């Protein structure tokens, strides 16, 4: 393969296989404020996400099956609360650099098994898969994500039952919480399966996620992880593997404690990789898991990109590349969504740095 002429798809697939490509693949995720400012910087329209992805050199695209069924839950306008089709309640919370739709109400916090069983959730039958094949053709040169949801037992259940109750559910084997996890996971697995089927082999990877760590250690014990989290994701991984796609697992915080199990269940790539968290530094990850897992992330959204100078951003990104690039298996990306407090010039410098210094010898 001529590394001087790799497509984004070829580049990503080599990297996910822990091989060196022509350069490291580039990912992007951002909150609304910085996303808007980046589009302004590049002279793009507010809705031109594709134009921004091309300007930043992003190698990834996503396809999906939009929900086409009837509305399952109603907003609560008198309280400023939006409610999506999973029944998750959110309200807008302002902060000094922007705002978030934050979770509230937790309507299933005290729900019984019967109430969870009757809670309206979007059926795989009510999604429109007709545009999948055309979207895959449109993004043919890129690496395509075909996920219909993250799985995300702890966070996803937490949005409906509260984080506290969700953690209690896992520790006490609460049947209502476990039923909710299974209903949500089964829907996402089946919807993803139909996306993969409609794509006819063109999906490169499926993105799933489970936040497992605080900044200092695990959220749950290994015993609880292996009892309730791992078996549910094993089903997801087995389904994705059957379609020949890679599995990417998003985990926030200190989560490397679960990576050996990830490898065993068939995860190929780990995402987020917050370097401030315990046992998540680039040096540690590369030493412990390099060659066995590929990596996507490592560029902190709470470090120089948010609080440093342009020169500090460049030095920081170059150092991360120096650690993570050798041997391949690294995708350059923010640890999570770029935050609205990140100066535009810092984010531009971040992406300029990888385009200058992210090439492997002999390929530029």
Write down the pLDDT at residue 3.
Answer: 63
On the question of pLDDT at 1 being above 60, the answer is no
3-state secondary structure of 35: helix
Mean pLDDT over each residue of the chain, to the nearest integer: 96
pLDDT of residue 83: 98
| Percent of the chain scoring above 70 in pLDDT | 99
Q: How confident is the model at residue 294 (pLDDT cuts 50, 70, 90)?
A: very high
What count of other Cβ atoms lies within 10 Å of the Cβ of residue 131? 14
| pLDDT for residue 151 | 85
What is the CATH number assigned to the segment(s) 3-69+109-357?
A: 3.20.20.210
Q: Quote the DSSP letter at residue 78.
A: G
Q: Which of 98-102, 262-266, 338-342, 354-358 has the lowest mean pLDDT?
A: 98-102
> For residue 364, what pLDDT is reported?
66
Supply φ then ψ for residue 284, to 5 degrees.
-65, -45
Write out pLDDT tens, residues 65-74.
999 999 999 9
H helices, E strands: number in the chain: 15, 10
Report the distance separating Cα 147 and Cα 301, nearest Å: 24
Q: Tell me the pLDDT band of 2, cut-offs 50, 70 and 90.
A: low
CA distance 254 to 83: 31
For the stretch 89-146, pLDDT in tens is 999 999 888 888 999 999 999 999 999 999 999 999 999 999 999 999 999 999 999 9
Answering whether pTM is above 0.75, one says yes
Contact of 176 with 218, CB cutoff 8 Å: no
Question: What is the per-residue pLDDT for 242?
Answer: 96
Dump the DSSP string for 318-342: HHHHHHH-TTS-EEEEESSSBPTTS
Could you report the per-residue pLDDT of 221-250, keeping only the tens digit for each?
999 999 999 999 999 999 999 999 999 999
261 and 226 in contact (C-beta within 8 Å)?
A: yes
At 362, the pLDDT band (50, 70, 90 cuts) reads: confident
Is pLDDT of 208 > 90? yes
């Amino acid at each position: 393969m001529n590394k001087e002429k790799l497509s984004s798809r070829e580049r990503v697939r080599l990297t996910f296989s822990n091989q060196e490509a022509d350069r490291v693949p580039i990912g992007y995720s951002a909150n609304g404020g910085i996303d808007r400012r980046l589009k302004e910087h590049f002279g793009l329209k507010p809705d031109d996400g594709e134009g921004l992805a091309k300007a930043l050199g992003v190698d990834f695209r996503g396809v999906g099956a939009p929900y086409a069924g009837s509305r399952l839950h109603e907003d609560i306008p008198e309280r400023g609360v939006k409610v999506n089709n999973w029944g998750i309640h959110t309200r807008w919370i302002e902060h000094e650099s922007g705002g978030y739709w934050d979770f509230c109400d937790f309507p299933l916090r005290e729900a019984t098994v019967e109430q969870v069983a009757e809670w309206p959730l979007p059926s795989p039958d009510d999604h429109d898969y007709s545009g999948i094949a055309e979207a895959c053709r449109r993004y043919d040169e890129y690496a395509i994500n075909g996920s219909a949801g993250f799985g995300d037992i702890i966070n996803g259940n937490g949005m409906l039952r509260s984080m506290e109750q969700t953690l209690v559910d896992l520790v006490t084997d609460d049947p209502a919480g476990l039923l909710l996890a299974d209903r949500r996971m089964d829907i996402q697995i089946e919807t993803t399966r139909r996306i993969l089927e409609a794509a006819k082999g063109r999906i490169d990877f499926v993105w799933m996620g489970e936040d497992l760590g605080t900044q200092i250690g695990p959220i749950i014990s290994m015993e609880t992880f292996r009892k309730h989290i791992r078996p549910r994701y094993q089903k997801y991984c087995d389904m994705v593997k059957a379609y020949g796609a890679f599995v990417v697992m998003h985990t926030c915080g200190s989560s490397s404690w679960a990576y050996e199990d990830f490898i065993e269940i068939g995860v190929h790539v780990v995402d987020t990789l917050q370097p401030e968290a315990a046992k998540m530094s680039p040096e540690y990850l590369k030493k412990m898991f390099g060659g066995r897992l590929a990596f996507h992330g490592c560029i902190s959204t709470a470090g120089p990109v948010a609080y440093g100078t342009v020169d500090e951003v460049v030095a920081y990104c170059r150092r991360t590349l120096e650690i993570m690039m050798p041997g391949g298996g690294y995708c350059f990306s923010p640890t999570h969504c770029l935050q609205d407090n990140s100066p535009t010039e810092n984010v531009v410098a971040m992406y300029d740095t990888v385009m200058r210094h992210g090439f492997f010898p002999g390929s530029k």
